[in-house]
A and B are shown apart, each in its own frame.
Chain A
Amino acid sequence: MVAIRFPRLQLSALLARLDAKQQPMLWLFATVIALTLLGSLLIWLTFSLAQPWLIGQLPQPDLRIPMAAAMLVGGALLCTNALAALLLMRFGLINIGSGNQSKSALVSTLRAEQDQHEAAVAALCQMAVLGQTFDEHIGEAKQQSEESALDIIERTTRLNAAANTLLDYLHNSNQSANTLGEDIDTGVEDITEIAHFVQGLPEKMRNDMEAIQSVVADIGQLEGLAGTIQAISKETNIVAINAAIEAARAGDAGRSFAVVADHVRILASRSAEAATTIETGLNTVLSGVERSLRRSFVNDSNQQLEQATNVLASVNRLTNNFSDMRQFYKTLFAVVTQHNTNIAEQISGVLAVLQYQDVVGQKLSRLQTALSQSNALLAGAADSEASLEELSELLSQAQATYLEKETYHARPTADADAEDNDTSSGPRIELF
């Protein structure tokens, strides 16, 4: 703390100088006493030495002794008084000179003191102006800090809104991913069923092929049946020819039988033709089916089985990839949510810390009030001599009042969320 000292008045020094001027007077009194003692000694010596001679010179014998004594005493006193007068005159002259010097010194000292007083008054006025300047600048600083704090709050709020937007976006993305996942799960189930179907298709084809081969075998058996029919047709034709011969032998009685024999022969011929046609068709079908089986089923069945297995593996890979992707989304969402929570906590902390602007602003306002009072006291003291004498006390009172009011306000802690250990001013949070 810097102690400000005003120039003290020099009257005390001047009085000391005047006291110093009184020292020769004391010396003068001592000198007079010494001279008195010296004169008494001189009278005694003169009286002792000159008395016989003087008595001899005086005309009246009876008055010689008293007259001689009176003359000696008178002469000695005259001499000592003359010396004393000379000394007093000398000291008087010295004192008159000293008085003049003291007067001049007093006048110059008073002028210097007046100059210092005017300088002190000017300094007080300047201090008041300086205080007003400080007051104005403190007000400007408060305004600027408030504007900055509001700007920070606005930016922080926008940051929080952006973080929440990102979180909402990720939340929506997660929901979309879940919906997509459900669709994909359904699709995967369908594809898996198809894959299982495709995987079972070769076996089914083998079964079908075996069935077809069985049919082909059956058809092969039918080919023998056609030969049997042809043989039966030949024998029927022979029987019909024999019947026609026998009918011719019978004459008229055998004519009707001859007609039947002709029809039987015609039927036998048609049966033989039908059997031939059936055999040809069966042979054509058999050869076609066997070619198809050889080309499509038998040769390609292994490749189709492998392809069917690959389809299932592809579907499984697709399912696994999507599961990974969904897990990645979930992890990403959880991580970003955690970061967003941390950001929200930090933003909350920043907003709490910004309350210091108000706390400090109020402190500066109280300081401004005290400064205004101090300026008023300084200005009043500069206007009046009486106030100047009381200035120190008034300023001390103003300082005491300011410090007392400051104790009514809690000291802000370094961390707004931290516990306050200063319990002298009561708890920071109290529910009644």
Chain B
Amino acid sequence: MPKTILVVDDSATMIMSLKASLEMAGFQVHTASDGVKALETLKGGLKPDLIITDINMPNMGGLELIKNARSLPGMRFMPILALTTESQQAKRDEAKKLGATGWLVKPVGGQDLVKVIKQVLPGA
């Protein structure tokens, strides 16, 4: 059974690029274009094994998404990776405080991304 990953980004390029890379690595990928749609997807019953989210997005940013996702049942310990161009330490600290599992700065190579995913998803 392939592991399921929810990719959240407002950039169609990032969505398609990550989807293709992760599917090549054998993962099942769902996508959302902002935090609001991601939350709707999660509340709709999707239980991904991992969430990869951008930070700066319209409607609802990544930090708020992390905060809201953590309050949903069964998602307290689900790994959430932030993938962004932001490198500000204050934002990293805030993400960590809100429950993010890791911080990745764009662009991230496919091999590096899969390596990180295998670290946070044992058995992937």
A-side interface residues toward B, CB under 8 Å? Answer: 146, 149-150, 153-154, 156-157, 160, 344-345, 347-349, 351-359, 361-363, 408-410, 412, 415-417, 420, 425-426, 428-432
Contact = CB atoms under 8 A, between A and B. Distances in A.
Interface in B77-121: 85-89, 91-92, 95-96, 100-113, 116, 119-120
Given A412-B107, A417-B111, A417-B112, A354 B17 contact: yes
B12 interface: yes
**Which of B11, B13, B96, B106 counts the most A-chain CB atoms under 10 A from its CB?**
B13
A362 B85 contact: yes
B13 A150 contact: yes
Interface in B1-59: 9, 11-14, 16-18, 20-21, 24, 56
Contact of B107 (A156, A352, A431): A352
A351 B101 CA distance: 24
Closest CB pairs A-B (n = 8): A348-B110, A355-B107, A417-B109, A425-B87, A410-B87, A358-B11, A431-B102, A416-B107
Interface residues of B, number: 38
Interface of B: 9, 11-14, 16-18, 20-21, 24, 56, 85-89, 91-92, 95-96, 100-113, 116, 119-120
A355 B101 contact: no
B107 A432 contact: no
A142 B18 CA distance: 19
Contact of A160 (B20, B106, B119): B20
Contacts of A156: 20
A354 B111 CA distance: 15
B108 A359 contact: no
Contact of A352 (B9, B11, B95, B108): B108
Contact of A432 (B85, B102, B109): B102
Contacts of A358: 9, 11, 13-14, 85, 106-107
A359 B103 CA distance: 16
Given A156-B20, A348-B110, A417-B112, 17 more contacts: A149-B13, A150-B16, A154-B16, A160-B24, A352-B21, A352-B109, A356-B107, A357-B11, A358-B9, A359-B106, A408-B91, A410-B85, A410-B105, A416-B108, A426-B89, A432-B100, A432-B102
A153 B111 contact: no
